[in-house]
Amino acid sequence: MKITAGTEQHRAFCIGGIAYTYASASRSVRELAAHGSLETEAAVLEGFGFDRVNVAVEESPYALAFDAASRLLEEQRIEPTSIGLLVCGGTPSAMAFHAATDADAGAASLCTADRFRYPATRLQHELGLEHAAVLALDQLACTTLFGAVRVARAMMESEAIDRALCVASEFYPAHAGREALYNCTSDAACAVLVERTDDPAARNRIVGASTITKGYYWDAAAMREEVVASYFPTAVHAIARALESAGWRAEDVDWVIPHNVSARSWDVLLRLARLPNAKLWSCNIARRWHALAGDNFINLRDAIDAGDLRAGQRALLFSHGYGAHWTALAVEV
Amino acid sequence: MCTHSYADHGDGVVLVTGATGLLGADVVRRWATGGAARRLAVLVRDRARWQLAAHRLGIAHGAVIAVDGDVTAEGLGLSRDVRRWLARDTTAVVHLAADTTFSRPLDEARRVNRDGTAHLLALAAEWPRVARVAFVSTAFVAGRRTGFVPESPDGAATDAIGWVNAYERSKAEAESLVRAVRNDWVILRSSTVACDDPSGVVTQRNAVHQALRLFHDGLAALIPGVAGSVLDAVPTDYVSDAIARLALRGGIDGATVHLCAGAGAMPLTELLAECRACWMRDPAWRRRGIELPSLADLDTWELFVQAVEETGHPRLRRVTRALTHFLPQLALPKRFDTQRADALLGVPSPRVSDYWGRMIDHLQRTGWRGVSALAEEAA
C-alpha cells in the first residue's frame, strides 16, 4: 500500500502502511468442529458467513509478528532507525516464543526467569529499531491494535516522534477452542505504521476515534448474555462518537471496514448505526475469519489494494474487544 | 370523577367473568362497595382464590355471589340450578375473563378468549332479561395496524393486516363474535396496564415490567421502535373505574370505547431516557455502564431474533422470546382515538409521562419483586 503523510493546519497522523501474516495452515469450519474446537454447530457458523480459518501449527506468535513487521518495513522502504516508537500487543509474552503445539511450555515459563524474555524487546533488536522506545499492551483482546495506534498517536504528539510501528500477534494453542461468542478466530499478526506529517495531500489520515471500556463485562465468559446485549447499543454509541470526533455526518461514511465477526451481526449493527451510504467490506469474513491481531487493519489494506476503497473516500473501522472494549476509527483514504 | 347518573342495565343480576383478575376484581370491588344496590354474581374457577381476592378487596361476605364455572366449558360449566337462576334474573353480562399471556399458541389463546366468549354469548342468548353484554377487550386488537386507530370495529386488524401475538388476534375474533350475535353490546378496549394508579405503585407485574427488568439488567440489546413510536399505557384505576361506569350504562349500545392514553402516550425515546435517569440515581447501576437497548425497525429486530434463534443458546433465546411476543408493537406506531371515552367519562386517562418515573422508582425500590430475572431462571 502506498503511504503518504500530511496534516491540515496541524500535523496529522496517518497510517503509513499495513502488512500482515497469517498462519500457513488452514482448516474449514467442519474440520474444526470435528476436532472439537468449536462450541457452536458448524452449520450455524457457516450460516453466519464463516468458511475457513488460518491455524498456527509450527509458527510462534513472535515469528508471525516478526514476519509482519519486517514485511511492512520492506514494503514501505522504511529505514528501521527512523522508527521512534514500537508498540506491541497480542498473545501474552510468556507464550510468544512457543509454537502452538508447545503452548503449555510457554505458560510454564512464567514460573522461571524466562518470564523476562519479552517479544517486544526482541522485535526491536531483530528489526534494528535502534531509536525506538518500546512498550507493550495487553488485555485489549480484538482492540489491541487500535489501542496500540491510540497510544502511538498520544506518545508521538507528546514526545515529538514522527514514526511509530504498532504490531499485534495472536494465536490459540493447538488444543484450545477457536470460538468466542459465535465467532471463530484465525492466527495472524498485523503491523501498522503510524506517521506524523505536514503533507496536506496525506492519505489514510486518522481523523477521528473513540474508545469505550466497560469493566463491568470483564468476565465475558460468565456474562455471555450481557455481553451480547451490550454489544450492539455500545457499538452504536462508539461509532457515533467516532463520527462526531471526525466531524463526519452518518451519510459521509463510504465504507465500513469490519472486524471479521459474524456477517449476521454486521447486518444488524449496520442497520442500527444508520449509515445510509456505507458499504461493508466483508470479503475477508468468509475466507479469513476473525484475526484478533487486527483484522480491521488487514481489511483496510486489502480493500485499498483491491481498489474498492479509493483516495478521498471515508472509511470507518469498528471493533469489539471481547467483553469490555469497543473502539472505532475514522480514516480518510 | 363524573357524578352524573345514567339509566343502566344492572337492575337485575350482573354476571361478571374474570373477577379474580386484576381489572375484574377492582371493577367488582367498585360495584360491591360503591353504594349502589347491585346483585353481583361472579363466575369463578377457584372459589378459594375468589374468597381471598374478596377479602383483600374488602368486599363484605355475601355482597357478591360466587358461582362455580369456567368459560372454556360449554354452558360455562354451570350447575343446573345456577343456570336456571341466572337465566331468570340476569340483566347484564360483563365479560372480563381472558388469557392475557402474550406467548400462548393461537389455539390455546382462542380456547379462552374466543371460544370462552362464544360460550358466554350462547348462554346469554337464552336469558331473556339480558339487555347488555359488555366485553372488555384490548386496544391491541389493532394488531399491526399503524397510525390513527378509531374507536370502532375498524380499529381492529384484519387477517390481511395481521397481529403481533395470538392474544391480540383471539381478542379481535371475540369482538367479532360479540358484534355478530347481539345489538346491546359495549366493547371496552383497554390499553396496556402499567401500574395501579398515578402514584406508580405496581401490584401485579406483567410483560411490560418484565421487559423493563431486562433493560435494567442489561440483557436487552434492541428494542423495536421507529421515529414516532410511543408507549400507550394506562393505570389500573383508570380502566377499572371506566369499566365500572360504562359497562352497564344505558344509551351506549354498540359503542366501542378506547380506555387508552391516546394523546397522552409517551414517546419511546423519552420513556427510555426517563428509565435511564431513574436508574442512574443508583450508584451500582451507574457503575456498570449499561446501555439501554438500541431502537430497531422491525426488519432489524427480526434479523436479530433470527440470529439468536440460530445460535441455539437457551438463555439468549429465552430473553429474546420474552420480548418478541409484544415489543414489536412499539415499531408499529399508532395513536388510539379516545374522543368517545373522554366524552363518556368526562376525563382522559393520565398521561403516561405523569407517572412513568414514579413507576420505575417503585419497581427499583421494591427490588423488582415479582418480576423474574429470565436469564437467572434459565441458567
Helix crossing, A224-246 with B314-324: angle to 10°? 70
Instruction: Count CB pairs under 8 A between chains A and B.
Output: 79
Q: A49: how many CB neighbours lie within 10 A of its CB? A: 18
Among B292, B299, B316, beta carbon nearest to A225: B316
**Residue A217: closest CA among chain B residues belongs to which residue?**
B288
Q: Within an 8 Å CB–CB cutoff, is residue B373 touching chain A?
A: no
Sheet bearing A314-321, strands edge to edge:
A133-137, A85-90, A163-170, A188-197, A12-22, A205-213, A325-332, A314-321, A255-257, A279-280
Q: Where are the domains of chain A?
A: 12-197, 205-332
Task: State the pLDDT at residue A10.
Answer: 62
B159 Cβ contact partners less than 8 Å away, ≥ 6 residues apart = none
**Element of type H or E holding A316:** strand A314-321
Among B222, B293, B315, beta carbon nearest to A225: B315
Stretch B292-318: mean pLDDT: 88
Residue A264, min C-alpha distance to chain B (Å): 7
DSSP category for residue B326: T
Q: Within an 8 Å CB–CB cutoff, is residue A220 touching chain B?
A: no
Task: State the pLDDT at residue A233.
Answer: 95
Buried (b) or exposed (e) across B200-238, using 16+ Cβ within 10 A?
A: bbbeebbbbbbbbbbbbbbbbbbbbbeeebbbbbbbbbb
pLDDT single digits (tens) B74-132? 999 999 999 999 999 999 999 999 999 998 999 999 999 999 999 999 999 999 999 99
Closest CA to B199 of B352, B359, B353: B359
Task: State the pLDDT at residue B374.
Answer: 58
Among A44, A216, A226, beta carbon nearest to B310: A44
Query: Cβ of B293 and A214 within 8 Å?
Result: no
CA A259 – CA A292 distance, rounded (Å): 9
Best B217, B290, B308, B317 residue to mutate vs chain A (most A CBs within 10 Å): B290
CA A278 – CA A257 distance, rounded (Å): 10
Task: State the pLDDT at residue B7.
Answer: 63
3-state secondary structure A171-217: CCCCCCCCEECCEEEECEEEEEEEEEECCCCCCCEEEEEEEEECHHH
Closest CA to A171 of A1, A78, A53, A296: A53
Best B219, B290, B291, B295 residue to mutate vs chain A (most A CBs within 10 Å): B291
CB within 8 Å of chain A, chain B residues 232-291: 287-291
Beta strands in chain B (DSSP E): 13-17, 39-44, 64-68, 90-95, 132-138, 147-149, 185-190, 192-195, 222-224, 230-231, 233-235, 255-259, 266-267, 294-296, 334-336
**Cell for A133?**
522506545
Query: Cβ of A216 and B290 within 8 Å?
Result: yes
DSSP of A27-52: EEHHHHHHHT--SS-HHHHHHTT--E
Q: Within an 8 Å CB–CB cutoff, is residue A271 touching chain B?
A: yes
Task: State the pLDDT at residue A9.
Answer: 47
Q: Where are the domains of chain B?
A: 13-195+232-265+335-351
Task: State the pLDDT at residue B198.
Answer: 96
Task: State the pLDDT at residue B6.
Answer: 57
Query: Cβ of A264 and B310 within 8 Å?
Result: yes
* High-pLDDT (> 90) share of chain B, %: 79
Query: Cβ of A230 and B218 within 8 Å?
Result: yes
Among B293, B300, B306, beta carbon nearest to A233: B293
Task: State the pLDDT at residue B72.
Answer: 97
**Residue B375: closest CA among chain A residues belongs to which residue?**
A225
Tell me the HSE value of A209 on the side-chain side, using a 13 A CA sphere. 15
Of residues B58 and A110, more confidently modeled: B58
B373 pLDDT band, cuts 50/70/90, is low
Among A47, A215, A268, beta carbon nearest to B303: A268
Best A38, A268, A275, A325 residue to mutate vs chain B (most B CBs within 10 Å): A268
Residue A327, min C-alpha distance to chain B (Å): 15
Among A225, A237, A271, beta carbon nearest to B319: A225
Task: State the pLDDT at residue A51.
Answer: 81
Indicate if the pLDDT at residue B343 is higher than 90: yes
Instruction: Tell me the CATH number for domain A205-332.
Output: 3.40.47.10
CA B283 – CA B369 distance, rounded (Å): 20
Q: Within an 8 Å CB–CB cutoff, is residue B221 touching chain A?
A: yes
pLDDT single digits (tens) B158-213? 999 999 999 999 999 999 999 999 999 999 999 999 999 999 999 988 889 999 99
Burial of B89 (0-12, 13-18, 19+ CB in 10 A): middle
Residue numbers in B near A271 (CB within 8 A): 296-297, 299-300, 303
**Residue A48: closest CA among chain B residues belongs to which residue?**
B307
Q: Phi, psi (5° rounding) for residue B376?
A: -70, -40
Among B293, B296, B311, beta carbon nearest to A40: B311
Cβ proximity of A7 and A198 under 8 Å: yes
For residue A46, the cross-strand partners are none
Indicate if the pLDDT at residue B379 is higher than 50: no
Task: State the pLDDT at residue A7.
Answer: 35
Stretch B237-246: mean pLDDT: 97
Residue B294, min C-alpha distance to chain A (Å): 5
Task: State the pLDDT at residue A16.
Answer: 95
CB within 8 Å of chain A, chain B residues 125-184: none
Task: State the pLDDT at residue B186.
Answer: 98
Among A44, A232, A272, beta carbon nearest to B311: A44
Query: Cβ of A232 and B221 within 8 Å?
Result: yes
Amino acid type, B234: V
Measure CA A113 to chain center.
30
Handedness of CA A53, A55, A61, A67 (dihedral sign): negative
**Cell for A134?**
518500546
Residue numbers in B near A219 (CB within 8 A): none
Q: Within an 8 Å CB–CB cutoff, is residue B313 touching chain A?
A: yes
Among A182, A225, A232, beta carbon nearest to B219: A225
Q: Within an 8 Å CB–CB cutoff, is residue B311 touching chain A?
A: yes
Q: Within an 8 Å CB–CB cutoff, is residue A41 touching chain B?
A: yes
B57 pLDDT band, cuts 50/70/90, is confident
How does the average pLDDT of chain B come out, rounded?
A: 92
CATH class of A12-197: alpha beta
Task: State the pLDDT at residue A8.
Answer: 38
CA A183 – CA A321 distance, rounded (Å): 12
ipTM over 0.90: no
Q: Torsion over CA of B172, B177, B183 and B188, rounded to 10 degrees?
A: -30
Select B13-195+232-265+335-351's CATH number: 3.40.50.360, 3.40.50.740, 3.40.50.720, 3.40.50.10680: 3.40.50.720
- Residue B204 CA: distances (Å) to CA of A69, A267, B198, B363: 63, 38, 15, 11
Q: Which residues in chain A land under pLDDT 70?
A: 1-10
Q: Within an 8 Å CB–CB cutoff, is residue A47 touching chain B?
A: yes
